[in-house]
Structure 1
Amino acid sequence: MVGHPFYILDEIDSTNNYAMEQVNSAYVTPGTAWFASYQTAGKGTRGKQWHAQPGDIVALSVALQPAMLPLSRQFMLSVTVALGVCDFLSSHAGDETIIKWPNDIYWRDRKAGGILIENVLRGNSWHYAIVGIGLNINQARFPEHLPNAVSLRQITGKTWDAVTLAQELCKYLDKRLKQLIPANYEQLLEEYKSKLFRWQQPALYRKDEEIFEGIIRDVLPDGHLCLEKDGKMLQLGFGEVEFILSR
C-alpha cells in the first residue's frame, strides 16, 4: 500500500534524491513514502527547483514497482498519479481542480502543484519509479515571478497540517494505482483527458518562439499532446510547447 511505511524527514535536499538513494542502496518496500518538512533543493520538471518554507508544502516521494506496465506504456503511470493527486486536492479545493498536461495540478488557471516521476531501470526492466509530488499548502503569498501559483490556504482560507495531508494523499494514490491494470488503461486515459486544463478550448501557446492559438484535441497513449493549429494537428512531446498564461 502507498504510504506503508511512511517516513518523516525534518530536512533534506530533495525527497526524490533521498528516495533514489534508498532504492539504489538497499531493498525498499514498494509503496514506501518519504515526507520532508523542509527541502533545501526540491526538484521540479526539467531541472527547475522548488522553494518553500517549512510547513508550506506537501513534499512527498513514493517508491513504486510498476511491473505491470511495459516501458512503452509508462505514461499511464503519470496519468494514474495525476488523477490521484487531482482527486485528493479536489476533495479540499472543489471541482475546479484540474490537470495541466502532462502532470501539473491546477486550480482554475493557477498552479497548485506538480509531479516528477524518475525511473530506475535494470536493463530493459522497470525496477522502480520514484514519484515526487509537491503541493502548495500554506503559502499566504507568492513572489512576483510566480504570478500563477496558488495554495490550498488561499483557496480555502484555512491553515493545514502538511503531514496529515501527505498521509491522506497516499490513500488517494493507493486507490488510483489499484486501478492501473491493462483493462482500465483506456478508461483512465479518458478520465485524465476530461480533467485537462484547456481541454477542447481555444488558447494561446508558444512553440519555437511563435505564439499561436491552438486547441487541445487529444492526448495519445504515449503522452503526446495533439494540438490543433490552423486546422492542422500537431503531435507534441513534453517540453515542446509552452502554455501562455493570462497572468
Structure 2
Amino acid sequence: MIGSPFHVLASVDSTNNYATAEVNAGIVTSGSAYFAMEQYAGKGQRGKSWSSVPGENIILTVVLQPPLTLSQQFMLSMTVALAQHDFFSKYAGSETAIKWPNDLYWRDRKAGGTLIENILRGSQWQYAIAGMGININTPHFPPALVNPVSLKQITGKEYDSLALAQELCTFLDKRFNDLPLIQETVLRNEYKSKLFRFNEPGLYKIDGEFFTGIIRDILPSGLLQLEREGKLLELGVGEVEFVKTT
C-alpha cells in the first residue's frame, strides 16, 4: 500500500535523493513514502530547483514498482498526475487541471509539480521514484515566480501539510492499484479530460518565437500534439513553453 511505511524527515536535500539511496541500499519496499518538513536542494523538471518554507507544503516522494514495461512510462506519469488531481480538486474544486506532462494547475496557475526518476536493472524497470511538491500553506510567493498558487490562497484556509500528504498517498494507492486493470486509451482519455488548455487556443514559445497553438492530442509516448497554423507538431518535454497571458 502506498504510504506504508510513511517516513517523516525533518530536513533533507531532496526526498527523491533520499528515497533513491534507500532503494540502492536495499532497505525499501514498494509503496514507501518519504515526507520532508524541509528540503534544501529539491529537484524539479529539467534541472529546476524547488524550495519551500519548512512544514508549509507537501514535499513527498513515493517508491513504486510499476506493473508496466519501460515503453509504458507515460502511463505511470498520467496515473500520478491524475491522483494529484483527485486529491487537490477535493479541496480546490473543479478549476483544478493537469498541465502537460504532470504539473498540477488551478486555473492558469501552478499549484504543484512532479519529478519521476527511474531505477533500472538491465532492461528491467525496477523502481520509479515519484517526487511531488504541492503548494499548501504558502501565503505569498517570490515575485520572480511567474504563476504560483497555494491551496491557502485558493480557499483562505490553513492546512496540516503532513496529514494532507498522508491523504494524497491514499489517492495514489487507488490509482496505482487500478493501473494493471485499465486500458491505456481509457487512462489517456481521462488524462486529456483534465488537461489544461486542451483543444483551446493558447500562447506558446518555441526557440524564442511566440505563437498561438492548440493542444490536439497527447500521444501514447507522452508527446504533445500541438496545432500551429494548421500543422500538427509532436513535441517532447522542454521543446515548448506554455506562456502565461493574464
TM-score normalized by the length of structure 1 = 0.98
Aligned residue for 1:43?
43
State the shift of 1:27 in Å: 3.5
**Do 2:14 and 2:42's aligned partners in 1 also have CA atoms closer than 8 Å?**
yes
- Give the whole-Å Cα distance in 1 for the aligned partners of 2:218 and 2:53: 35
- Give the whole-Å Cα distance in 2 for the aligned partners of 1:81 and 1:44: 15
Question: Partner of 1:159: helix, strand, or coil?
Answer: coil
Aligned residue for 1:81?
80
State the shift of 1:183 in Å: 4.0
- Give the whole-Å Cα distance in 2 for the aligned partners of 1:139 and 1:41: 18
- Give the whole-Å Cα distance in 2 for the aligned partners of 1:119 and 1:8: 22
Question: Partner of 1:168: helix, strand, or coil?
Answer: helix
- How does 1:4-153 map onto structure 2 within 5 Å? 4-66=4-66, 68-153=67-152
Question: Partner of 1:180: helix, strand, or coil?
Answer: helix
Q: Structure 2 counterpart of 1:25, which letter?
A: A
- How does 1:206-221 map onto structure 2 within 5 Å? 206-221=205-220
> Identical aligned pairs, as a percentage?
59
Deviant stretches of 4+, over 3 Å: none
Q: Structure 2 counterpart of 1:194, which letter?
A: S
Q: C-alpha offsets along residues 140-186 of structure 1, whole Å, 9 cap, x if unaligned?
A: 01011113100000001011111100000000000111111264221
RMSD (Å), alpha carbons: 0.9
Q: Structure 2 counterpart of 1:129, which letter?
A: A
Q: Structure 1 counterpart of 2:154, which letter?
A: I
Q: Structure 2 counterpart of 1:30, which letter?
A: S
Aligned residue for 1:178?
177
**Do 2:97 and 2:105's aligned partners in 1 also have CA atoms closer than 8 Å?**
yes
- Give the whole-Å Cα distance in 2 for the aligned partners of 1:207 and 1:179: 36
- Give the whole-Å Cα distance in 2 for the aligned partners of 1:210 and 1:80: 32
- Give the whole-Å Cα distance in 2 for the aligned partners of 1:217 and 1:153: 33
Q: Which runs of 5+ in 2 are unaligned?
A: none
Q: Which runs of 5+ in 1 are unaligned?
A: none
Aligned length: 246
